[in-house]
Structure 1
Amino acid sequence: MSRTSTRLAAIATTVVIATTGLTASAVADAAAATAPTGSAVVNESNSFLLSSLSAGVLVFALPNATGSYDSTKGLSASFPVTGGSANLPGFYGNVQLGGGLLFVNLRTGKSAVFKNLAFRIDTWQVTGVLEGTSAPVALLDPAGDTVVTGTQADGKLESSDLQVDGEGAKFLDSKLNTTFFQAGQSVGSFSFSFKAGS
């Protein structure tokens, strides 16, 4: 970089700091800030998996979610936290999740892809945005025995049941041309962990 370019870069940085009111230490703090971490884990029970297969309906977790299967526990998908804020003990917040969900009806050839997944703690729903649209759809609701541990900065949630949301059931049945999904239908269980960034 030439001396002139170096001087211009230094002047530009000074102007940005001066006009935004940021000190050099604030700029350094912002650069050192860390993003929140954690994950939302959907555990799909064997009973739900078998009933969905019988109906010709398949559900796949899309990258960057990771999936696994256990013959006794069923199918699991872990969706990483990518942003947002959460206060699990206070039951409020909205956390963005990585990955996506693909729903396929093998009998009709219809499919639906959901991205921009989120866990909306204030409404107690896992939501997703259908590809090509912008409005979030409530897909799943943690239910059953729910245990919250930890603090606002570092909390965990375990729900013994995870149910299909009423709105999600209607939406999925319509998109996939099926009658498989029902409001309150048990999918499995749900766990969520969140550690605030700095």
Structure 2
Amino acid sequence: MARTGIRLATTGAAVVLAVTGVGGVAVADTTAAAPTGSAVITVDGAFLAKSVLKGIVVVPLTPATAAAANNAITATFPVTGGAANIPSFSGDVQFGGSLLFFNATNGKSVVFKQLDFGVRSWKITAVPDGGTNPVALLDPLGDTQVGRTGTTQSLTASSLQVDAEGAQYLDKALGTTYFTGGQSVGSLALSFTPGS
């Protein structure tokens, strides 16, 4: 092979190695970072007491966690997705975990998955197990504060209330008349940092 052919072949191989990232040069990882944060729902003692008297139990399922303190239960749901701008009231935030509602008086239950906070609708929705359509479960109301620190957005609501649609669905699914629209459950603290 002539020297010109060898030079061209060598140059071609170098270009292929450079383009494919082979030959000792690392290719940059372009995996986007997922959004982070959490929704912390604090269920107050008054709601807990009334629920227990009616035989209603609500349990957050993994990866959500629950803890008891000061006559209240806090349920923490990790952020798993979404693209939201809470101060501009747009987008949505998705949470990991599920919610199990159980009626101890008759054994009926329902599990909600795919929890989502629609910033524009200002509702927490979830899809009942076996279903495909989301149900509006909870509405952040009362004294609400929206903020941003760096890239982290936040929402706090002094009152988290049962949505009328959720109340109707839960009463039917659990065979009860316990739930009503506007029923106060507790409070909400949400933090959300968008992915990159």
TM-score range normalised by the length of the shorter chain:
0.7 to 0.9
2:28 and 2:78 map into 1 onto residues whose CA distance is 27
Q: Does residue 1:122 correspond to 2:108, yes or no?
A: no
Give % identity.
51
Deviation at 1:28, TM superposition (A): 3.5
TM-score (structure 1 length as normaliser): 0.84
Q: Does residue 1:43 correspond to 2:53, yes or no?
A: no
Q: Which residue of 2 aligns with 1:3?
A: none
2:150 and 2:121 map into 1 onto residues whose CA distance is 17
1:160 maps to amino acid: S
2:66 and 2:81 map into 1 onto residues whose CA distance is 21
Deviation at 1:96, TM superposition (A): 1.0
1:128 maps to amino acid: A
1:107 maps to amino acid: T
2:132 counterpart SS class: coil
Q: Which residue of 2 aligns with 1:100?
A: 98
2:173 and 2:194 map into 1 onto residues whose CA distance is 36
2:150 and 2:141 map into 1 onto residues whose CA distance is 21
- CA gap 1:122/1:129 in 2 versus in 1, 3 angstroms: same
TM-score (structure 2 length as normaliser): 0.84
2:89 and 2:81 map into 1 onto residues whose CA distance is 17
Q: Which residue of 2 aligns with 1:28?
A: 28
2:81 and 2:28 map into 1 onto residues whose CA distance is 21
Q: Does residue 1:111 correspond to 2:109, yes or no?
A: yes
Number of corresponding residues? 176
**Cα deviation code 1:140-169 (max 9, x no counterpart):** 000000001116932111100000000000
Q: Which residue of 1 aligns with 2:194?
A: 196
- Tell me which of 116, 129, 132 is aligned to 1:131: 129
2:70 and 2:35 map into 1 onto residues whose CA distance is 32
1:52 counterpart SS class: helix
Q: Where does structure 2 lack aligned partners over 5 or more consecutive residues?
A: 1-15, 21-25
Deviation at 1:76, TM superposition (A): 0.7
**Cα deviation code 1:119-154 (max 9, x no counterpart):** 111101111100111110000000000001116932
- CA gap 1:130/1:146 in 2 versus in 1, 3 angstroms: same
2:117 and 2:149 map into 1 onto residues whose CA distance is 17
- CA gap 1:47/1:83 in 2 versus in 1, 3 angstroms: same
1:75 and 1:102 map into 2 onto residues whose CA distance is 15
Shift >4 Å, 4+ stretches: none
Deviation at 1:95, TM superposition (A): 1.2
1:131 and 1:152 map into 2 onto residues whose CA distance is 37
Q: Which residue of 2 aligns with 1:158?
A: 156
1:152 and 1:84 map into 2 onto residues whose CA distance is 18
2:131 and 2:150 map into 1 onto residues whose CA distance is 32
2:87 counterpart SS class: coil
Q: What RMSD in Å do the two structures reach over aligned CA positions?
A: 2.1
2:121 maps to amino acid: T
1:179 counterpart SS class: coil
2:88 and 2:38 map into 1 onto residues whose CA distance is 19
